[in-house]
Amino acid sequence: MSFESYVSILDSTVRLGTPLLLACLAGLFSERSGVFDIGLEGKMLVAAFLSAAVAYTTGSAWLGLLAGIAGSLVFSAIHGLASITFRGNQLISGVAINMLASGITVLVGQNWFHQGGGTPALSGAARFRDMTLPFANELRDVPFLGPIYAELISGHSVLVYLAFLLVPATWWVLYRTRFGLRLRAVGENPAAVDTAGVSVVALRYAALAIAGVLCGIAGSYLSTALAAGFGREMTAGRGYIALAALIFAKWRPWQALGSTMFFGFLAAVSIRYPTIDLGVLVIPNEFMDNLPYILTVVVLAGFVGKAIPPRAGGEPYVKER
Amino acid sequence: MSLMTKFLGATAALALTAGAALADPAIIYDLGGKFDKSFNEAAFHGAQKWAKETGGKFREVEIQSEAQREQVLRRLAESGANPVVMTGFAFGDVLNKVAPDFPKTKFAIVDMVVNQPNVESIVFTEEQGSYLVGLMAGMASKSGTVGFIGGMDIPLIHKFECGYAQGVKAANANAKVLVNYTGTTPAAWNDPVKGGELTKGQISQGADVVYAAAGGTGVGVLQAAADAKILSIGVDSNQNYMHPGQVLTSMQKRVDNAVFDAFKAGADLKPGVKVMDLKAGGVAAAMDDNNAKLITPAMKAALEKATAGIEDGSIKVHDYTTDNTCPVQ
């Protein structure tokens, strides 16, 4: 294998890992506040659909992004209403969101565009185009570092850079701000936060809203940057892989970057090399596709350190009986 | 969930029987979906053309999962649809089982041979059409490296690949053909993101013309090629319009004509194998205003020569499915 093909696989890793990273950070905020969020998949799907639909109609990818975020926020609000205000089961609410998204996108899409639930192909300003960073073309011929800069670092959509910047931002918010401290506390011991006079409900809604925005960006990236248009079920399980990555990262932002990029790398490799021949045995494609889930089980089983979820996760907060 | 399926099934059955005048023709689309801009969409256009010309009505079903194949096929046959046309080799086994149960119904299957007395099997000589577009790819490529992206990894798509490779080598014996397949399950027909990633991979290896024989996945291939400002080749339907000036040509497989003919024949459909080859207009390299600027006079001349050669038999294009090998790599 040549050096160029390594760079090309890593390039592909960044593209495929970005939606996972955004969704994983969304899950991080939500779960750190004590609200499990199985509905990442559904929120991304709705955002992907609305982004593509609005971008196609208006011809602007940025308006599409806003629409995607709005749609995802609405779904976040539904999740919040069911699981925070009405203290319903968070997992069931999340599953319901996924099913609702899967149905409503195709139904509305068919009604609007009559293309089997998809949107027409996007072109021009309706898509986020790849950005060329300064000097990328001039430095291309520099040995070793040139291709890395020109291919791997430059030449991605603006949303990719945004996603990477969100990692330190998330770390800063969680560990260096008052809001972050309270958010983490509300996921561990909401009663203590409540005793201190901080509203548990407001904090959890805020966390879900942030998760909604991040899922919106993830969905928008899928349909208006990675692909050119929405297709039925286009998230294809990425929300679940992001959840797996979140557990793998043990609910920490920098580790989330690592785990999502690792899963992105697995996806990139399985696309390029459908079967990997190790001489003695052949690894089939399906194994690579399922590796994220297998690894998650391994981590959860406690083989690689211990994955301890936020203590109050999954439980609605009851102030008084 | 299963209760839900039953309800849906019951409603679908009701809808089918309610709307059915006797002997309306019917068509079943494969998993790529009716609007894949390629194979299934071509079939839809054929059916639409028939409806327009005759004023008749036809019924259509888009299957959503493997399990629905037999269910849908039986239900259409039971409700009196005649003929029932299905697009895709994957219906082969199911049809072999279902056809004997409905001796009075005529079936037509595209891309597969099913030996039953009431089935018309429509097959295309994809290797000939692919040879022609391969020839054009070989001439248009400046880097001497061209790509092929197949959908599901099955002999039928290897037939495309092999014909293409032979055409490329005929134009430039030193050319390199990069080959990737999207997957090994029918989901590979509808995965544009994966198609785009594969294309980017081939571009990074130097490909400057990429041929997509991948149904709905091809949309992603053509998009990635257009984004990178290289040429692409569409398949099944004429896809030149999707990125004008960026799609070199399309290997048109006249599934639309096949469906149109089958619908027109109605209950008098002639069972047996129908081969739609280059001579019969079954396959062709699509030419229109969108790609006119990309076609050089030399390319045109070579194309005409190759077409004549294939038709009179002086150029033999190897068919992969006859022996599962390809003479060129």
What are A268-296's pLDDT values in tens digits? Answer: 887 777 666 677 777 777 787 788 778 87
State the burial class of residue B144 (Cβ atoms within 10 Å of its Cβ: 0-12, 13-18, 19+): middle
Cβ atoms of A131 and A157 within 8 Å: the answer is: yes
Residue in A15, A226, A271 closest to B198 by CB: A271
Domain count, chain B: 2
In this structure, the answer to whether residues B212 and B292 fall within a common structural domain is yes
Q: Give pLDDT tens digits for A92-103.
A: 999 999 999 999
In this structure, the answer to whether residues B118 and B202 fall within a common structural domain is no
Residue in B183, B205, B223 closest to A228 by CB: B223
Look at residue A108 and tell me whether its pLDDT is greater than 80: yes
In this structure, the answer to whether residues B172 and B312 fall within a common structural domain is yes
In this structure, the answer to whether residues B303 and B157 fall within a common structural domain is yes
Least confident of A65-69, A144-148, A198-202, B83-87: A144-148
In this structure, the answer to whether residues B138 and B185 fall within a common structural domain is yes
Range of the domain at B241: 126-252+284-323
* pLDDT at position B20: 44
In this structure, the answer to whether residues B82 and B131 fall within a common structural domain is no
* Chain B residues in contact with A221 (beta carbon < 8 A): none
Decide if B3 is inside a domain.
no
**Considering only alpha carbons, which residue of chain A is nearest residue B244?**
A123
* Chain A residues in contact with B191 (beta carbon < 8 A): 236
Look at residue A141 and tell me whether its pLDDT is greater than 90: no
Q: In whole angstroms, what is the distance from residue A28 CA to residue A256 CA?
A: 9
* pLDDT at position B19: 45
In this structure, the answer to whether residues B289 and B319 fall within a common structural domain is yes
Decide if B5 is inside a domain.
no
* pLDDT at position A231: 85
* pLDDT at position A191: 92
CATH of the domain at B84: 3.40.50.2300
What stretches in chain B show pLDDT beneath 50?
1, 14, 17-21
CA-based nearest residue to A52, from A38, A76, A68: A68
* pLDDT at position B13: 53
Q: Give pLDDT tens digits for A35-59.
A: 999 999 999 999 999 999 999 999 9
How far is C-alpha B156 from the geometric centre of its chain's CA atoms?
A: 10
Q: Give pLDDT tens digits for A56-99.
A: 999 999 999 999 999 999 999 999 999 999 999 999 999 999 99
Burial B99-122 (b: 16+ CB within 10 A, else e): beebeebbbbbbbbebebebbbbb
Decide if B329 is inside a domain.
no
How far A99 CA lies from chain B's nearest CA (Å)?
12
Q: In whole angstroms, what is the distance from residue B234 CA to residue B250 CA?
A: 4
- Helices A40-58 and A200-221, axial angle in degrees (round to 10): 50
Q: Give pLDDT tens digits for A168-191.
A: 999 999 999 999 999 999 999 999
In this structure, the answer to whether residues B130 and B221 fall within a common structural domain is yes
Is B193's CB within 8 Å of A285's CB? no
In this structure, the answer to whether residues B143 and B168 fall within a common structural domain is yes
In this structure, the answer to whether residues B154 and B222 fall within a common structural domain is yes
In this structure, the answer to whether residues B201 and B294 fall within a common structural domain is yes
* pLDDT at position A6: 84
**Considering only alpha carbons, which residue of chain B is nearest residue A285?**
B183
| Interface residues from chain A to B (CB-CB < 8 Å) | 4-5, 7-9, 11-12, 15-16, 115-116, 118, 121, 129-130, 151, 222, 226-229, 231-232, 234, 236, 268, 271-272, 274, 285
Q: Enter the ipTM.
A: 0.76
Q: In whole angstroms, what is the distance from residue B119 CA to residue B84 CA?
A: 9
- Alpha helix (H) residue ranges in A86-199: 90-113, 145-147, 158-176, 178-188, 190-195
